[in-house]
Amino acid sequence: MNLYISQLNFLGILARNYSYGSNLMTGLKQISIYTDGSCLGNPGPGGYGIVLKYKKRTKELADGFALTTNNRMEMLAPIIALEALKVPCEVILTSDSQYMRQGITQWIHGWKRKGWMTSTNQPVKNVDLWKRLDTVSQRHQVEWRWVKGHAGHSENERCDDLARQAAEAKPTQEDNGYLAQQKQD
């Protein structure tokens, strides 16, 4: 269920051709992104779900991995969403993952200063994804929002459905970052 590749073309066209959704203060297009990750067991088969909204257009992205963790899927969802945007945008990114939101808005600054080590001098878990999220988020103006999961927020519920369906689809794709991390532990 790889919807990612088929949706990139739409988003590239969207970002290039629609100027009426621009913020007059920044000149950037305003995109709303909702993300969620799921894992059947932790670790286990996992997936991510994404809902992107630009004006009246909505696109959904989802994909799954044979063996991964919930936190990795929670992080991969915003990475894929932000990478899909072909030009810098003003983004409101909403997730139910405190781990991802606090990591990218608070903890990452200390980790980078300490050479990707935690406050207890342990290597940061999922460092491959943290570096990727840090890089891609710098291309955009991102406001990171948190929403309580499974609380009736329609876009979050849809992302949860997409992520769970991707995990349940018996994915064969490998999460190479997770596998490499396991070899180091």
Task: Output the known binding site for Mg(2+).
Answer: 36, 74, 96, 160
CB 46 within 8 A of CB 40: yes
Looking only at the bridges linking them, the beta strands covering 44-54 and 29-39 are: antiparallel
Catalytic, out of 63, 96, 155, 175: 96
Tally: H helices and E strands in the chain? 7, 5
Length of the chain: 185
Catalytic, out of 90, 157, 160, 175: 160
150 is an active site residue: yes
Binding-site residue set: 36, 74, 96, 160
Kindly report the backbone phi and psi dihedral angles of residue 119, in degrees, each rounded to the nearest multiple of 5, phi listed first. Answer: -65, -20
Query: Which of 31, 36, 54, 56 shows the shortest CA–CA distance to 46?
Result: 36
Catalytic, out of 115, 150, 152, 185: 150
160 is an active site residue: yes
Catalytic, out of 36, 155, 157, 175: 36
Distance (Å, rounded) from C-alpha 10 to C-alpha 49? Answer: 17
64 is an active site residue: no
Catalytic, out of 46, 47, 63, 74: 74
63 is an active site residue: no
Q: Mind telling me the catalytic residues?
A: 36-37, 74, 96, 150, 160
